[in-house]
Amino acid sequence: MVTKYHMPVDVRFGAGCLKELADFLSAGDRVLLVTDPGLEAVGLVDRVRDVISPTGAECRLYDKVEPNPTADMVEAAMVEIRDYKPTKVVALGGGSSMDVGKVVAALCTNEGPLVDYQWNGKPFANAPLPLIAIPTTAGTGSEVTMCAVIVDRNCKKGINGPAMFPKAALVDAELMASLPLYLTATTGMDALSHAIESYVGLGANPITDAMAREAIRLIGGSLWGACANGQDRKARQDMALGSVLAGVAMDQAGLGLVHTVSSPLCTFFHMAHGEANAVLLKYCMRYNLIARPERYADIAGLLGVDTAGMSTWQAAEASVAAVERLLDETGVKVPLLSFGMKESDAELVADNLPGFMLCNNPRTMNKKQCVQFYLDILADQK
């Protein structure tokens, strides 16, 4: 079987690499800095501006990105920034800021509304503006993927293709030091879900396996430390690297059940992407065990479980317990009931699954199974 791997992003990794943003800018550039209002409040926007300013480039701030960005929000952003005519886009933040940055960079050089590209299959005729992605969470991995996810028509729908790859990613763990405990835990579990889903999914290949395995090991060994002390440089660095590796793995190998069943929770109940994946990961692993027990047994070992003397099935079950313990010991709780989901909503969310990701999952799920899946989670969390 022939497999392929393509990831053209110039990745700069390490403490202090933010300063290398200057390598991608010049005095004639008009930079659009895409972010959310919270990062301006904690001073990270000023740190980026301090790097941009000496290059002589102009900089305009767009800081209206919200979690689970919608098509309407993207269109409103385009109205606001089009007259600026940016030449480069810098996306600072988590997955939402990077996804908006990717789409804006493409729409600035291509005519027509977002719907043409998101739903109607129109290809981008022109290359997007160069995008430099600067993640502030160790979770999404969007800085190394060729996908931007935007909510529309009650669905988290990706715009996929090589045009969506950023030109560069500056992965500076120093920018993650101020991330609060809750976001550290939930975005970290999101990164872990990327690694696990890419490892057990039908699209896995030897290259993505290597990255996914190392991502699982790094995240499993560092999430507690990053949550316990946000200033723990090694823990933050390992989380950042784990997130990048998981992002590359999922982009090349595909995702599965976690991201399928989390999508309607984000759409209808306004859960952040990381929150939804954090609460669902252990349940999805348990559902998938019968399809990939050997791989889940591997995951247990990567998460530090001593599987000596265990059968394959026992080790596979131990991987679920290890993931459950990983989240529990951060002290973070993400109950679905607190977001307003009720048993009567199970049909609604089951009717709005993005089925394309389920095709990569090692075990099938029909609507009846999906309804029961959500009901079982709600019952377990009461």
pLDDT in tens, 266-290: 989 989 999 999 999 999 999 999 9
CB 224 within 8 A of CB 284: no
Residues of the chain with pLDDT under 50: none
Tokens (6 digits) for 375: 């009901």
Q: What is the pLDDT of residues 352-380, one digit of tens each?
A: 888 788 999 999 999 999 999 999 999 99
Between CA 206 and CA 28 the distance in angstroms is 43
pLDDT, residue 2, reads 72
Tokens (6 digits) for 308: 């000596």
pLDDT, residue 334, reads 86
What are the φ and ψ backbone dihedral angles of 13, each rounded to 5 degrees? Answer: -130, 135
pLDDT, residue 91, reads 98
What 3-state DSSP class applies to 182? Answer: helix
Between CA 92 and CA 16 the distance in angstroms is 15
Between CA 351 and CA 373 the distance in angstroms is 13
Name the CA dihedral angle for 178, 44, 138, 133, rounded to a multiple of 10 degrees.
180
Q: What is the pTM of this model?
A: 0.95
- For 49-88, b where at least 16 C-beta lie within 10 A, e where not — what string? eebbeebebbbeebbebebbbebebbeebeeebeeeebbb
CB 199 within 8 A of CB 299: yes
